[in-house]
Structure 1
Amino acid sequence: MGENILKAKALPNQKERTALKPNNMTSNGDSNFTNRDAFRQAVVNTLERRLFYVPSFKIYGGVAGLYDYGPPGCAVKANVLAFWRQHFVLEENMLEVDCPCVTPEIVLKASGHVDKFTDLMVKGGKTGTCYRADHLLKDFCKDKLEKKDVNITADKAAELKHVLAVLDDLTAEELGEKIKEYAIVAPESKNPLSDPYPFNLMFQTSIGLPGLSPGFMRPETAQGIFVNFKDLYYYNGNKLPFAAAQIGQAFRNEISPRQGLLRVREFTLAEIEHFVDPDDKSHPKFPEVSNLEFLMFPREKQVSGQPAERTCLGEAVSKGIVNNETLGYFIGRVYLFLTYLGIDKDRLCFRQHLANEMAHYAADCWDAEIECSYGWIECVGIADRSAYDLRAHTDKSGVPLVAHEKFAEPTEVEKLVITPVKKEVGLAFKGDQRMVCEALEVMSEKEAMEMKADLESKGEWSSIKTGDEQLNVFRFPPLVAPIKCTVFPLVQNQEYEEVAKSIAHMLTAAGISYKIDITGTSIGKRYARTDELGVPFAVTVDSTSSVTIRERDSKVQIRVNVEEVASAVKEVTEGQCTWNDMLLKYNAPPVPDDE
């Protein structure tokens, strides 16, 4: 039942779209081909001279498709990624992962990359120089059209435009036929070209001893998220929807890298996989973006030759142009992200994939395209991929990557519930009362029955265990803790849950990472899960006006007004004050130094 609906990634290795460029999407002032080339070269010269980026290994002649970022380039990249984390990961409360670049062959075999992640290549006569077949055909057609060859008739121009429109859908045989029909030869040597043949774009390697465990450098970051679905689903309280995000390096052994940083062999991907119930693709935050208007280019307009138009996102979803609310919501969020970065709204368009571009498993797919000196370039892909990837890895690994739906009607079950009598535990264990109660509450049923049997037969139990190791605690200092606080209502209550969500919004605005837990499990179990992650603070909503903040190591709590939660957590986590300072501020007894 787990379904992946969104694959949104920002990456440089993307397709160039020029064949179906709409009439109202022309360049402003640089439409002339020569001027555009001159402008681009001036920009590249400045970027390299000021060390934004330079060809890698330049003193040895460099390697095509590999670049180094200099100080200003690194700073720009870091700023963009920091904003991406703020805009998506923090704002949408996503689960971030970081997976290896080296991937076992079996994983990429299951995903289809080993068999299908290919480009069609041709070789140039005696020299053996390799070229991408589709690039040669595209360059030929564009050159004839853009230079307005006087020998090109209207019918021939229409034919060339049609070839560009269907280029991605041509088979190896069809590409070869067109190359021969147009007498296309190798660019440098002018030698005839071989027939097109597939070339896998992944860098192959070995893990451990050569040949024993084949692997590849990952061509995308998505598979690391998919193979971790089961654990991420559990981490999220076994609830849908949830999103996982990853930023990392990807590798593609491009046949003929070109277009500067737009098509390279190693690059950084920022990727999101959003998992939803396939029967409910609504999104609670869709109204926040539904009124946005921007250029959209649905497939119907593309095939009929109509131009892209400014369209209200809400209208596009209601009319079924965009498949569902969740897909529409992330289209809106991507639009806001790109425009906040400074992308010109008039040079940004969301183009829907044509039928011949869509993967067989995709329900809908849109590309955010930006017009630059290379033409219209895909920057972000946003797709409803159905559950294809999860099913593929389930079939190959034998591990079910699924989610479970609650019964529509309640079902009666018997369950052992441990309810410590806190007064008696306090008399027996005094200062350790809280720790003992929490340990009892997180016990498994098996451990509880073993303890009960020991108490009945021996009159005592040797020790209080920490349950199924859930009370092992990472004592991260607040400054480096991956999650600064958790937020949960004391009991399942609509009012308390709304307060928890309000606090979550305030934490996001303050740039504080958090985890919200509305699973309804016992407070002890939720504290235990929080402690094990090393989260310094737990915010418990037990009223609509004020809440408690519990510190992980001392387990001491303070009560603060709802409006003060974010500032209180921020002050401590950023080192502006200590926890004891907070205790003094809110009239709680200080924690002894040995705590």
Structure 2
Amino acid sequence: MENNDSFNGMSKDTFRQAVVNTLERRLFYIPSFKIYGGVAGFYDYGPPGCAIKSNVLAFWRQHFVLEEDMLEVDCPCITPEVVFKASGHVDKFTDLMVKDEKTGTCFRADHLLENHCNDTLEKDLSISSEKAAELKHILSVVGDLSAEQLGAKIKEYGIVAPDTKNPLSDPYPFNLMFATSIGPTGMSSGYMRPETAQGIFANFKDLYYYNGNKLPFAAAQIGQAFRNEISPRQGLLRVREFTLAEIEHFVDPDDKSHPKYSEVSDLEFLMLTSVDQETPDKAAKRLCLGDAVSEGIVNNQTLAYFIGRVYLFLTRLGIDEKRLRFRQHRPKEIAHYAADCWDAEIDSSYGWIECVGIADRSAYDLRAHTDKSGVALVAQEKFAEPKEVEKLVITPNKKELGLAFKGDQKLVTESLEAMNGKEAMEMKATLESNGEVDFEVCKLQKMVTIKKNMLSISKDKKREHQNIYTLPSKAGSPSKAVNEQLNVFRFPPLVAPIKCTVFPLVQKEQYEEVAKRISRALTAVGISNKKDVTGTSIGKRYARTDELGVPFAVTVDSTTSVTIRERDSRDQIRVNVDEVATVVKDVSEGRTTWADILQRYPAHTSASADADE
């Protein structure tokens, strides 16, 4: 099923060139600044390209933001340096580069090694089976190789600069972020963001409050990202400026179930596990997503749910499921803070290309920004009764680690702090019996020796009145919410960020089911909406949505008919449940007016609701 040797009966190169020629000739995209010779890694979209891009993003919003009730944000492209210091991008967002020792031309070291392996496999008819197996193994692990390992392979295979055939330098890291300065003095350093996620993490506290201080919730962002690629190639697949759509889903780390998991658990598609990748040439196999979770292949339901949703998104866009696979990151490839990570890859004329990454990132980013900013990015849940809980406490001795590991201290420390309870207690036992223990640091791709004086590991028992998600309890508590203002934004329905809110009048299961049904019907016709099941008074819920500028509010007070309230007039009408979506859509999109609606449906009055407001 993964045979990718031909495309429409043509070789990869022939097919790719035919597609590129057509796309450029019909102005889907063209090299930017072409009249000046162009700049590698930059492209302009023409009219048909813009239309396709717009349609894809509209479907992405519908499929993820609306249907999953996500919170969308839009953050600046220019980001202060301190943000990327905290996230680790300043130190770690690098690729390994080599230079032509005579001309100074730069190349990505892993690309040169990949090209050599592929060319040898495709063109050397006399290659032995042992050599072929070796090259295929190199291709499968090239992303895991250190600078020293890459340099050794380049020398071993006699790889030189592609055009000049000059010798190459040893590989060294090159940071892919575009540096800039903020303000006229040039003293405030910043970077063009290489991803949109850090803006979401930095806004976690406000988004959590906006969501009623409840988990789980997801935040989404579409925007431009910038990566100063060493040697851009592969057309639009590796460019220096591109549009990125990202989601961060925040969940209770002790409960990673998902209420809609059953909607995707029966999906079957190609999956390439980390275990299967240990065998060269082993192809992906069709797996049922639910089986992958139950067998421990996929770490948890929430991660699996989004893998399933990504599969549905891509196939509905027209991606052939036979050329789509989900590849699990290998142990040496996966970030040290991640519990599990999968890439959605598409088989193209360039080979298997990653198009989506889905990872369980733990609380790494929130913890990093809390430590750097001093602002606690936490979520809390109050217990009905105080509980006695055991807390794992790992305290690295940074002085001793620094003396032992010098420049590698930070990576060693992060790996130690990322240990789970079982790993930590096993290390504690070995340290107490032997005085030292061998410990693998994935990012360094080597074992190091940890001695007893380099850290302390303990479990403390505490009585807690609330559970603090995403961060250790030492992070503290968020301050109490201030009284909400009663300002009203009077956005026209056409541009209102949320068109409609849906409230069960009281917290009864039958009302909440009707509210979900109405919300699904609104989403199905493209109307952004938000459910509010907080149980506070209806007047306070009206006030909160008025402040956001939401033009319509649906109150569920029976299982057959509901009320629709218009924000500006506060007039209410009575509508059958099955008609709500049509009424809100027609007036939101200008097909009719609220005045016309008032003539067609019976008015609803509620003295209690007015008094509550």
Q: Could you tell me how far 1:299 is from its partner in structure 2? A: 1.2
**Residues 192-224 of structure 1: per-residue CA shift (max 9 Å, x gap):** 011111110000000102431100000001001
Report the equivalent of 2:3: 26
- 1:545 alignment partner, one of 545, 560, 564: 560
Question: How far apart in 2 are the matches of 1:178 and 1:304?
Answer: 21
Q: Could you tell me how far 1:177 is from its partner in structure 2? A: 1.3
Question: How far apart in 1 are the matches of 2:248 and 2:342?
Answer: 15
Report the equivalent of 2:581: 566
Q: Could you tell me how far 1:582 is from its partner in structure 2? A: 1.2
Q: Could you tell me how far 1:129 is from its partner in structure 2? A: 0.5
**Residues 325-351 of structure 1: per-residue CA shift (max 9 Å, x gap):** 111111111111111111111111111
Report the equivalent of 1:297: 272
State whether residues 88 and 94 of structure 1, in contact with CA within 8 Å, keep that contact through their aligned partners in structure 2: yes
- Describe the SS at the equivalent of 1:404: strand
State whether residues 351 and 367 of structure 1, in contact with CA within 8 Å, keep that contact through their aligned partners in structure 2: yes
- 1:128 alignment partner, one of 89, 101, 104: 104
Query: Which aligned pairs between 1:386-465 and structure 2 lie closer than 5 A?
Result: 386-409=362-385
Question: How far apart in 2 are the matches of 1:587 and 1:91?
Answer: 31
Are 2:322 and 1:322 equivalent residues in the alignment?
A: no
Are 2:36 and 1:60 equivalent residues in the alignment?
A: yes
Question: How far apart in 2 are the matches of 1:256 and 1:90?
Answer: 38
**Residues 541-566 of structure 1: per-residue CA shift (max 9 Å, x gap):** 11121111111111111111111111
Q: Could you tell me how far 1:31 is from its partner in structure 2? A: 9.9
Name the amino acid aligned to 2:60: W
- Of 484-493 and 71-80, deviating more is 484-493
Question: How far apart in 2 are the matches of 1:183 and 1:106?
Answer: 42
Query: Which aligned pairs between 1:460-475 and structure 2 lie closer than 5 A?
Result: 468=483, 470-475=485-490
Name the amino acid aligned to 1:573: S
- Of 65-74 and 487-496, deviating more is 487-496
Q: Could you tell me how far 1:225 is from its partner in structure 2? A: 0.7
- Describe the SS at the equivalent of 1:400: coil
Are 2:252 and 1:277 equivalent residues in the alignment?
A: yes
Report the equivalent of 1:166: 141
**Residues 490-512 of structure 1: per-residue CA shift (max 9 Å, x gap):** 12222211111111101101110
Are 2:348 and 1:372 equivalent residues in the alignment?
A: yes
Question: How far apart in 1 are the matches of 2:151 and 2:44?
Answer: 36
- Describe the SS at the equivalent of 1:405: strand
Question: How far apart in 2 are the matches of 1:395 and 1:524?
Answer: 39
Report the equivalent of 2:91: 115
- 1:200 alignment partner, one of 148, 151, 175: 175
Question: How far apart in 1 are the matches of 2:362 and 2:195?
Answer: 18
Q: Could you tell me how far 1:588 is from its partner in structure 2? A: 2.8
Q: Could you tell me how far 1:251 is from its partner in structure 2? A: 0.1
Aligned CA distance change for structure 1 residues 210 and 262 (closer, same or farther; 3 Å) = farther
- Describe the SS at the equivalent of 1:245: strand
Report the equivalent of 1:154: 129
- Of 259-268 and 542-551, deviating more is 542-551
- 1:528 alignment partner, one of 538, 543, 552: 543
- Describe the SS at the equivalent of 2:213: coil
Q: Could you tell me how far 1:178 is from its partner in structure 2? A: 1.3
Question: How far apart in 2 are the matches of 1:211 and 1:199?
Answer: 23
Question: How far apart in 1 are the matches of 2:24 and 2:257?
Answer: 46
Over alpha carbons, which structure has the higher Rg? 1
Question: How far apart in 2 are the matches of 1:166 and 1:589?
Answer: 67
Question: How far apart in 1 are the matches of 2:69 and 2:604?
Answer: 34
Report the equivalent of 1:238: 213
- 1:138 alignment partner, one of 101, 114, 127: 114
State whether residues 237 and 517 of structure 1, in contact with CA within 8 Å, keep that contact through their aligned partners in structure 2: no
When the two chains are superposed, the root-mean-square deviation of aligned CA atoms in Å is 1.7
Report the equivalent of 1:177: 152
Name the amino acid aligned to 2:579: E
Higher RCO (Cα < 8 Å, 6 or more apart): 1
Q: Could you tell me how far 1:480 is from its partner in structure 2? A: 1.0
Question: How far apart in 2 are the matches of 1:505 and 1:205?
Answer: 45
Q: Could you tell me how far 1:246 is from its partner in structure 2? A: 0.6
Q: Could you tell me how far 1:253 is from its partner in structure 2? A: 0.2
State whether residues 178 and 226 of structure 2, in contact with CA within 8 Å, keep that contact through their aligned partners in structure 1: yes
Q: Which 5+ residue runs of structure 2 have no aligned equivalent?
A: 388-481, 606-613
Question: How far apart in 2 are the matches of 1:163 and 1:223?
Answer: 33
Name the amino acid aligned to 1:25: E
Report the equivalent of 2:13: 37
- 1:96 alignment partner, one of 72, 83, 108: 72
Report the equivalent of 1:16: none
Report the equivalent of 2:422: none
**Residues 170-193 of structure 1: per-residue CA shift (max 9 Å, x gap):** 111111111111111111111101
Deviation above 3 Å: which 4+ runs of structure 1? 28-32, 408-411
State whether residues 572 and 604 of structure 2, in contact with CA within 8 Å, keep that contact through their aligned partners in structure 1: no
- 1:257 alignment partner, one of 232, 249, 254: 232
Q: Could you tell me how far 1:297 is from its partner in structure 2? A: 1.0
Question: How far apart in 1 are the matches of 2:252 and 2:110?
Answer: 39
Question: How far apart in 2 are the matches of 1:175 and 1:164?
Answer: 12
Aligned CA distance change for structure 1 residues 31 and 552 (closer, same or farther; 3 Å) = closer
Question: How far apart in 2 are the matches of 1:337 and 1:372?
Answer: 18
Q: Could you tell me how far 1:409 is from its partner in structure 2? A: 3.8
Question: What TM-score do the two structures reach when normalised by structure 1?
Answer: 0.84
Question: How far apart in 1 are the matches of 2:124 and 2:66?
Answer: 50
- Describe the SS at the equivalent of 2:76: coil
- Describe the SS at the equivalent of 1:131: strand
Q: Could you tell me how far 1:468 is from its partner in structure 2? A: 4.2
Report the equivalent of 2:594: 579
Are 2:555 and 1:506 equivalent residues in the alignment?
A: no
Question: How far apart in 1 are the matches of 2:331 and 2:372?
Answer: 28
State whether residues 583 and 589 of structure 1, in contact with CA within 8 Å, keep that contact through their aligned partners in structure 2: no
Report the equivalent of 2:510: 495
- Describe the SS at the equivalent of 1:109: helix
Report the equivalent of 1:18: none
Q: Could you tell me how far 1:586 is from its partner in structure 2? A: 1.2
| Identity of matched residues, % | 78
- 1:70 alignment partner, one of 46, 51, 65: 46
Question: How far apart in 1 are the matches of 2:512 and 2:371?
Answer: 38
Name the amino acid aligned to 2:354: E
Q: Could you tell me how far 1:577 is from its partner in structure 2? A: 1.4
Question: How far apart in 2 are the matches of 1:146 and 1:228?
Answer: 49
Name the amino acid aligned to 1:303: E
- Describe the SS at the equivalent of 1:548: strand
**Residues 513-571 of structure 1: per-residue CA shift (max 9 Å, x gap):** 01111111222221111000000011111112111111111111111111111111111
State whether residues 65 and 263 of structure 1, in contact with CA within 8 Å, keep that contact through their aligned partners in structure 2: yes
State whether residues 134 and 167 of structure 1, in contact with CA within 8 Å, keep that contact through their aligned partners in structure 2: yes
- Describe the SS at the equivalent of 1:80: helix
Question: How far apart in 2 are the matches of 1:153 and 1:487?
Answer: 68
Report the equivalent of 1:453: none
Q: How many residues align?
A: 510
**Residues 404-449 of structure 1: per-residue CA shift (max 9 Å, x gap):** 11314499xxxxxxxxxxxxxxxxxxxxxxxxxxxxxxxxxxxxxx
- Describe the SS at the equivalent of 1:511: coil
- Describe the SS at the equivalent of 2:555: strand
Name the amino acid aligned to 1:38: T
State whether residues 272 and 328 of structure 2, in contact with CA within 8 Å, keep that contact through their aligned partners in structure 1: yes
Q: Could you tell me how far 1:365 is from its partner in structure 2? A: 0.6
**Residues 447-477 of structure 1: per-residue CA shift (max 9 Å, x gap):** xxxxxxxxxxxxxxxxxxxx94621111111
Name the amino acid aligned to 2:575: V
